[in-house]
Amino acid sequence: MKEELKQVLGNGKVKDNISELQQHSEDESSHDAALPDVVCYPASTEEVQTIVRIASKHETPIVSFGIGSGLEGQAIPVCGGITIDFSNMNQLIDFSPEDMTVTVAPGMTRTELNRTLNKQGLHFPIDPGADASIGGMTATNASGTTAVKYGSMRDQLLDMEVVLMDGRVIHTGSHAKKSSSGYHLTGLFCGSEGTLGMITEITLQVHGIPEAMEGARCTFSTIDECTHAAYQVLLHDISIHRMELVDKASIKQVNGFGGYDFPEENSLFLECAGAKAEVEAQIEKLHEIMQDAGCKQWDAASTTEERNHLWKARHEMSTAFRHQHGKGYFGTDICVPMSKLPEMVHFARELLDESGLAGGILGHVGDGNFHTLIAYDRDSSQEVKAAGHLNEQLVYRAIDLKGTCTGEHGVGLGKKKYQYREHGEALSVMKEMKYLLDPKQLLNPAKIFE
Amino acid sequence: MKEELKQVLGNGKVKDNISELQQHSEDESSHDAALPDVVCYPASTEEVQTIVRIASKHETPIVSFGIGSGLEGQAIPVCGGITIDFSNMNQLIDFSPEDMTVTVAPGMTRTELNRTLNKQGLHFPIDPGADASIGGMTATNASGTTAVKYGSMRDQLLDMEVVLMDGRVIHTGSHAKKSSSGYHLTGLFCGSEGTLGMITEITLQVHGIPEAMEGARCTFSTIDECTHAAYQVLLHDISIHRMELVDKASIKQVNGFGGYDFPEENSLFLECAGAKAEVEAQIEKLHEIMQDAGCKQWDAASTTEERNHLWKARHEMSTAFRHQHGKGYFGTDICVPMSKLPEMVHFARELLDESGLAGGILGHVGDGNFHTLIAYDRDSSQEVKAAGHLNEQLVYRAIDLKGTCTGEHGVGLGKKKYQYREHGEALSVMKEMKYLLDPKQLLNPAKIFE
């Protein structure tokens, strides 16, 4: 098979030396690494079709790989086979500033994309923290801090080109901003984590760079007050740009890690974006809402420097937990209806305290999505078990409260055992669709489904 | 079969007198009426399952019916069979104001829903004009004037309960605001027009009633200037609530029909909504943008009365064309990338002029979606043909420009012949999914697919 791949694609695009295989054996999650048999670097849709045909012939698994920043093991080739690394398919295919649309190959990263867009006064706002590839973000329906305003990755997509396992190449949508034509394949392939087809082109809706941005940080005595204040913002239908809950423990951790001096209190980090006068009005209203909600301290971040400082700290929080010498790291990712957030955050804090593990809580509080960041000793089977137990308890509770086991990280390896509990009979329909498009089960096997 | 239905459901829920059949033979479109064999009024998911089982046994078609306000014949039972009228399944199932979510049965209409929501300071903003049922709006991915801010029906959905043809009942999502868990079945069933399953429950994200709203009307010498001005608004990332293009002919028609005295010029109807200070800032910015874009006349609609006057006129425009004595009526529904809108609107005007038909152009200009409203003589085969030709030319051009044949009305009967042209090979994937879930082709047959 390797020889056949080399013959057709050329030696330079097919690699099987050990360092290549190792580089494609893991992601940013705590899941065990696994080596692919071979790594291919296609340069075109046609070359992806070729790889798919060869894989089909040899009944070999195919796994897509973006930049490896996934958090649930989606890119780990647990059954071996071919890993397709999309880093050579990273070009700008079409950019229409007047339509606010852009078409890119899947290997382009979001900061590369923004460099192009920014020159035309536009930006792509989805920000999962890591400089992920657009293909990876699409495959996992990523989101992050700006989802409260812009939604998730799925909400940005207009069209995708997808290579199916039988070699067909389809387009899932059009470049129109809305459509009621045909079944919504765009939504279906987004979030399918490489299990239904290989995404080879992505057309996105982009946005004007806001004329102005202003941020603020406010502290509360309790987490309940934080979530209540956030709810008031939503109720006023204020088009907030970011609204993040950061618990006391996380502030403390990042202060130590990054030399910040934020007050060590349960906090909301806020940001508004838009026309200057609109933003000023929003910030004023927010301040009023926060005061009514019992805010102890309000610190405006009006300058770009102050805002960057704020969000740099926010993004460093997972790193602050992650990069503790000799420690393993793990982040939960549940999402629940808004009103259940205080209860869930309490529960997470209780579980953390009971477990004896060090950890903090960070939340995309406008969406009901939060992460419990846990540092544990990899060599202590007790701590490993405790971390797993904490995750499972949170997942069970979230599903009981009509929430989801994953708000933005995806299913991959870590959440597949909860799929039946969350989806019930619908999981059988998903399996039937998987079987319809991939009857030999070669596309990213052992992901999503057990 | 009718006897079996009556036996199981009771006489009161199964009707086959001619007036019942006629009431369920047509919608608001110009497509030919067709009678069902029988109309059932189930009161529960279990009764829908029962009907599905009987239909499957007798290999009889099933068609869903909301209130019959569809515009592409989706509810017309062209192959006869059972029509399921959901008007007895119109209850509020769950309402969680603190989560801003609501679960309703499919027969509830959007104004009924808003009556409940408004009492809690919330509203459901999607407004297709007609007082459609939530089930019908979900099945066709409806939208309307507020899509520029809130998106289409699909963007509001969190979960659906669906009865499948084999009797399984599934839930497509959860009540979490975002999720990366499993395949996006919610998106797939939304817009499937009753061809994949029967939607029996719908959970929606709702929104806070904006503290303030302000509207404005501005006139331009040319349609190009209108669309250019609209584009500037999007570029400034102003969170506009409604932005409608209304051409000179449509203003003239509605002035005559409803006794309005709007200046008979190409116009934009605008509305901002949000916190008071925010709206004031937005309106000021909009005024500035409109002036820079060459606006001839700016008329603010600051009071509720003035705003209602504006939107009443906007909603009466299709009625103004529709209710001309002895005339047939027809509306196109293409949607194209923003920059192509001026070209398309020009083209539509040219086609109208060439055809000799009376008509106007109305557009959800923030989305690139517009309707050409055509009144024609039903008895003149030449006029009927001319109206069809105009529609087809617009559809072909829209697809060539990477747009869609239907922005919000759906495929139904009228757009199915354009599906291959728009979707290409992807249509075969859609057909395979249809066959997977409805192997006997009993769910709304002869819709979407030829």
The model's pLDDT over B294-351, given as tens digits with 9 standing for 90+, comes to 999 999 998 989 999 888 888 888 888 877 777 888 899 999 998 898 889 889 989 9
Asked whether residue A33 carries a pLDDT value surpassing 80, the answer given is yes
Write the single-letter amino acid at B183: Y
What domain range includes position B41? 2-87
Nearest residue of A to residue B147, measured between CA atoms: A178
Q: Is B427 on the interface with A (CB under 8 A)?
A: yes
A-B interface: how many C-beta pairs under 8 angstroms?
A: 308
Check residue A328 and give its pLDDT.
83
Q: Residue B235: which pLDDT band, with cuts at 50, 70 and 90? A: confident
Domain end: A153, A174, A208, which one?
Answer: A208
Nearest residue of B to residue A184, measured between CA atoms: B188
Average confidence score pLDDT of chain A: 94
Examine residue A432 and state whether it is found in any structural domain, yes or no: no
How large is the average pLDDT for residues A377-388? 91
Model pTM score: 0.96
- Residue B291: count of CB within 10 angstroms of its CB: 12
What CATH number has the domain bearing residue A370? 3.30.70.2740
> How is residue B169 written in tokens?
């009942």
Check residue B239 and give its pLDDT.
80
Q: Measured between alpha carbons, how far is B123 from B100 in angstroms, rounded to an integer?
A: 9
The answer to whether the CB of A289 falls within 8 A of the CB of A233 is yes
Is the domain of B246 the same as that of B314? yes
Q: State the residue for tokens 């299990």.
A: A195
Q: Measured between alpha carbons, how far is B147 from B144 in angstroms, rounded to an integer?
A: 6
Select from A47, A4, A89, A27 the least CA-distant residue to A444.
A27
Shortest Cα–Cα distance, B28 to chain A (Å):
17
- Residue B448: count of CB within 10 angstroms of its CB: 28
Q: What are phi and psi of B62, to 5 degrees?
A: -125, 130
Nearest residue of A to residue B138, measured between CA atoms: A180
Domain end: B184, B208, B232, which one?
Answer: B208
User: Contact A429/B409, CB-based, under 8 Å?
Assistant: no
Select from A342, A251, A236 the least CA-distant residue to A287.
A236
Q: Residue B124: which pLDDT band, with cuts at 50, 70 and 90? A: very high
Examine residue A441 and state whether it is found in any structural domain, yes or no: no
Asked whether residue A69 carries a pLDDT value surpassing 80, the answer given is yes
Asked whether residue A237 carries a pLDDT value surpassing 80, the answer given is no
Examine residue B172 and state whether it is found in any structural domain, yes or no: yes
Examine residue A130 and state whether it is found in any structural domain, yes or no: yes
Of the CA atoms within 13 Å of residue A109, those in its CB half-sphere come to 12
Examine residue A179 and state whether it is found in any structural domain, yes or no: yes
Check residue A318 and give its pLDDT.
83
Check residue A234 and give its pLDDT.
79
Is the domain of A186 the same as that of A236? no
How large is the average pLDDT for residues A128-151? 95
Is the domain of A65 the same as that of A173? no
Check residue B213 and give its pLDDT.
93
Among residues 172-201 of chain B, which lie with CB inside 8 Å of chain A? Answer: 172, 174-188, 190-192, 196
Is the domain of A265 the same as that of A337? no
Q: What are phi and psi of B15, to 5 degrees?
A: -130, 140
Q: What are phi and psi of B231, to 5 degrees?
A: -65, -40
Q: State the residue for tokens 């079996």.
A: B4
Check residue A289 and give its pLDDT.
95
Asked whether residue B442 carries a pLDDT value surpassing 80, the answer given is yes
Is the domain of B94 the same as that of B82? no
Is the domain of B265 the same as that of B308? yes
User: Contact A171/B277, CB-based, under 8 Å?
Assistant: no
Q: State the residue for tokens 């109309």.
A: B39
Among residues 26-55 of chain B, which lie with CB inside 8 Å of chain A? Answer: none
Taking contacts as CB-CB distances below 8 angstroms, the residues of chain A near B413 are none
Q: Residue A149: which pLDDT band, with cuts at 50, 70 and 90? A: very high
Which of B126, B157, B232, B278 to mutate to test binding with chain A, by most A CBs within 10 Å of its CB? B278
Shortest Cα–Cα distance, A224 to chain B (Å):
14
Q: What are phi and psi of A146, to 5 degrees?
A: -95, 5
Among residues 360-419 of chain B, which lie with CB inside 8 Å of chain A? Answer: 367-369, 398-399, 402-411, 415, 418-419
Examine residue B440 and state whether it is found in any structural domain, yes or no: no
How large is the average pLDDT for residues B129-141? 96
Select from A390, A450, A385, A371 the least CA-distant residue to A418.
A450
The answer to whether the CB of B207 falls within 8 A of the CB of A237 is yes
Is the domain of B342 the same as that of B243? yes
How large is the average pLDDT for residues A346-364? 91
- What is the tally of structural domains in chain B? 3
Which of B183, B201, B209, B340 to mutate to test binding with chain A, by most A CBs within 10 Å of its CB? B183
Q: Measured between alpha carbons, how far is B140 from A333 in angstroms, rounded to an integer?
A: 33
Q: Residue B93: which pLDDT band, with cuts at 50, 70 and 90? A: very high
User: Contact B183/A188, CB-based, under 8 Å?
Assistant: yes
Is the domain of A73 the same as that of A102? no
Is the domain of B301 the same as that of B391? yes
Shortest Cα–Cα distance, A2 to chain B (Å):
30
Asked whether residue B12 carries a pLDDT value surpassing 90, the answer given is yes
User: Contact A433/B430, CB-based, under 8 Å?
Assistant: no
Average confidence score pLDDT of chain B: 94
Examine residue B273 and state whether it is found in any structural domain, yes or no: yes
The closest CB to that of A337, out of B101, B192, B284, belongs to: B101
Q: Is B224 on the interface with A (CB under 8 A)?
A: no
Check residue A396 and give its pLDDT.
98
Q: Measured between alpha carbons, how far is B29 from B332 in angstroms, rounded to an integer?
A: 11
The Cα-based distances of A146 to A244, A365, B37 in angstroms read 10, 11, 52
Asked whether residue A257 carries a pLDDT value surpassing 80, the answer given is yes
Is the domain of A78 the same as that of A119? no
- Model ipTM over 0.85: yes
The answer to whether the CB of A268 falls within 8 A of the CB of A245 is yes
Q: Is B118 on the interface with A (CB under 8 A)?
A: no
Check residue B232 and give its pLDDT.
85
Which of B120, B177, B192 to mutate to test binding with chain A, by most A CBs within 10 Å of its CB? B177
Nearest residue of A to residue B208, measured between CA atoms: A235
What CATH number has the domain bearing residue B183? 3.30.465.10
Q: What are phi and psi of B186, to 5 degrees?
A: -55, -50
CA dihedral sign of residues B300, B305, B307, B312? negative
User: Contact B154/A187, CB-based, under 8 Å?
Assistant: yes
Span A2-27, pLDDT tens digits: 999 999 999 999 999 999 999 999 99
- Return the minimum-mean-pLDDT range out of A168-172, B156-160, B260-264: B260-264
Shortest Cα–Cα distance, B448 to chain A (Å):
7
Q: Measured between alpha carbons, how far is A278 from A211 in angstroms, rounded to an integer?
A: 10
Examine residue A425 and state whether it is found in any structural domain, yes or no: no
Is the domain of B274 the same as that of B340? yes
User: Contact B415/A208, CB-based, under 8 Å?
Assistant: no
- Residue B76: count of CB within 10 angstroms of its CB: 28
Select from B139, B146, B100 the least CA-distant residue to B123.
B100
Q: Is A338 on the interface with B (CB under 8 A)?
A: yes
By DSSP bridging, strand B62-65 and strand B82-85 are parallel
Q: How open is the CA angle B105-A407-B273, to the nearest 5 degrees?
A: 65
User: Contact A180/B237, CB-based, under 8 Å?
Assistant: no
Q: State the residue for tokens 């907030």.
A: A240
Domain end: A266, A283, A315, which one?
Answer: A315
User: Contact B182/A236, CB-based, under 8 Å?
Assistant: no
Shortest Cα–Cα distance, A19 to chain B (Å):
31
- Residue A48: count of CB within 10 angstroms of its CB: 27
Among residues 55-84 of chain B, which lie with CB inside 8 Å of chain A? Answer: none
How much of chain A exceeds pLDDT 90, in percent? Answer: 80
Q: Residue A231: which pLDDT band, with cuts at 50, 70 and 90? A: confident
Is the domain of A182 the same as that of A120? yes
